[in-house]
Each structure stands twice: as structure tokens, then as C-alpha cells.
Amino acid sequence: MVLAVFVEFVKYREWTESLGKDREWFIQLTQSKVYQVIQSFASSYGGIALPLRYDYQIMLLPYEVSVREFNEGLRKVLLNYAPTPINTLVTCRKIKDLLKMDLSNENYQEDVNCLPESLVVAHADLNDFTKKTRSLGIYRTYSEILNVIAHYVKELRDVAIVQYLGGDNIVSICDEENMQKTLEVLGSINSIKVGVGVSKIPRKAFMLAAEALDTIRERGKVSKYLVLYDQ
């Protein structure tokens, strides 16, 4: 199980429409700054933020984090950056259950009982993508990445959160019991390597996944996957 905090920016559409017609540059600027603040705050607790659609974001946190303290601190740091009021929803459940949550039937709680279970972070990276970008062009390779993401989202929609991280990096987050299925789907794409981190602390799982990916590169990509567990 993972402690998750959903952040909703209330009346986000109304805010964007209030900015007039020459607004998109400012929306993008604001979104990136807000995401930076949320990511920085979550990481200070050993967590990680996933921007999703930006008007709704999710933070994955260690199971022992104080919900009340975290929520109060989050509202405080966003006070000068969030363009709208925010709602937060805190829950603790398996990743596969987070994927099908009905937010309208959930209420905010300050005390959440969370069991200390490991989280799996699978960081997929396409091989020789920089070289391919130079030969095929930026947009063509970008569209290739979008196709890969669409494939992963479709195949993993019931077991994993799939998040694009920029460049040729895609992360899939799942429960340990669904790791094998997730790796099979990720590996169905040719010329890909996957570093996997397993930990009860989300930020540590991401760190181990990056370490595993670096090890695969150092070994000359002789293996498609490498799984590292938190000790």
C-alpha cells in the first residue's frame, strides 16, 4: 500500500479563461512553477510528485508521514504559487486500487492507517534515442514516444500508473505483486531497457530505478531489466 495525496486545483478552467486570449504562455509558466514547488515539497518527505494533467496531481509518500503536518505544509508552500484554491484527498491503498478511485465518494481524512508495503518503480528508457532524434528529427521521435506511452497506458491501465518524464523516459509504478506483468508489457517494445527500484519509500524506489538503469548502461545493455531492492 502507498500513502497518496491527490491535489485538485479548484475551478482551474475558470482561472485559465479569466486570463484572456493571450494566456497559454502564462498557463504553462504557472503550471511548471507549481509542479516544481509540489515536487520539491514531496521529495523533502521522501515522496515523489506525478504531474498527471497538472490541474490534478498526485504525490506518493512514505507510509509513516503525518497526514495533518504534510497537508498543512503543502497549503502553506503553495499559498504564493497556486493560481486557485486547492483541495487535497489523502488515502492509503494499493496502486491498482488508486487507479479506479471514485474521488467524488472520498472524504479528506487527517488520520490514515497505512501498511508498510513496497512500491515498484520501473523506469523505461529507449535505446539510442538521441542518435535516432538526430537522424529522424525531433518531432518524429517525439511522436514515437507518445505511441509507446499510449501502448503502455492501454496495457497497464488496471495495474500501474504510467507517467512520461520527458526525453525518452517513461516510468510505471505498480504494486510488487504486479511487477512481472508490468515488466512484460514494458519489454514488449523493442530497443528498451528498464531499471526497477523496489522500496517502501517512493523517492528511494525512484533512486534505485535510476541506479539500475545506470548499471544496465554500464554493462553495455546486455540485459533488458535490472531490479534493485531496498535493504
22 residue type, one letter? D
Measured CA angle at 221 (ends 217, 223), to 5 deg: 120
The answer to whether the CB of 183 falls within 8 A of the CB of 122 is yes
Residue 158, judged by CB atoms within 10 A of its CB (0-12, 13-18, 19+), counts as exposed
pLDDT recorded at residue 26:
97
pLDDT recorded at residue 231:
82
pTM of the model: 0.92
Please give the full DSSP string across 188-200, using - where no structure is assigned.
TSSSEEEEEEEES
Start-to-end C-alpha separation, the chain: 18
Please say whether the dihedral angle defined by the alpha carbons of residues 24, 30, 31 and 33, taken in this order, is positive or negative: positive
CA separation for the pair 126, 136 (Å, rounded) = 15
- Assess whether the region 2-105 and the region 119-229 belong to the same CATH fold: yes
| Domain ranges within the chain, ordered by starting residue | 2-105, 119-229
Per-residue pLDDT 10s for the chain (231 aa) are: 899 999 999 999 999 999 999 999 999 999 999 999 999 999 999 999 999 989 999 999 999 999 899 999 999 999 999 999 998 988 999 999 999 887 776 655 666 778 889 999 999 998 887 888 888 888 998 999 999 999 999 999 999 999 999 988 999 999 999 999 999 999 998 889 999 999 999 999 999 999 999 999 888 766 789 999 998
Architecture of domain 2-105: 2-Layer Sandwich (3.30)
CA separation for the pair 153, 140 (Å, rounded) = 20
Cell of 200: 517502501
pLDDT recorded at residue 222:
63
CA separation for the pair 229, 186 (Å, rounded) = 19
Residue 207, judged by CB atoms within 10 A of its CB (0-12, 13-18, 19+), counts as middle
**Domain at 119-229, CATH from 3.40.50.300, 3.40.50.720, 2.60.40.10, 3.30.70.270:** 3.30.70.270
pLDDT recorded at residue 107:
59
pLDDT recorded at residue 7:
92
Residue 184, judged by CB atoms within 10 A of its CB (0-12, 13-18, 19+), counts as exposed
Please say whether the dihedral angle defined by the alpha carbons of residues 85, 30, 171 and 44, taken in this order, is positive or negative: negative
pLDDT recorded at residue 223:
74
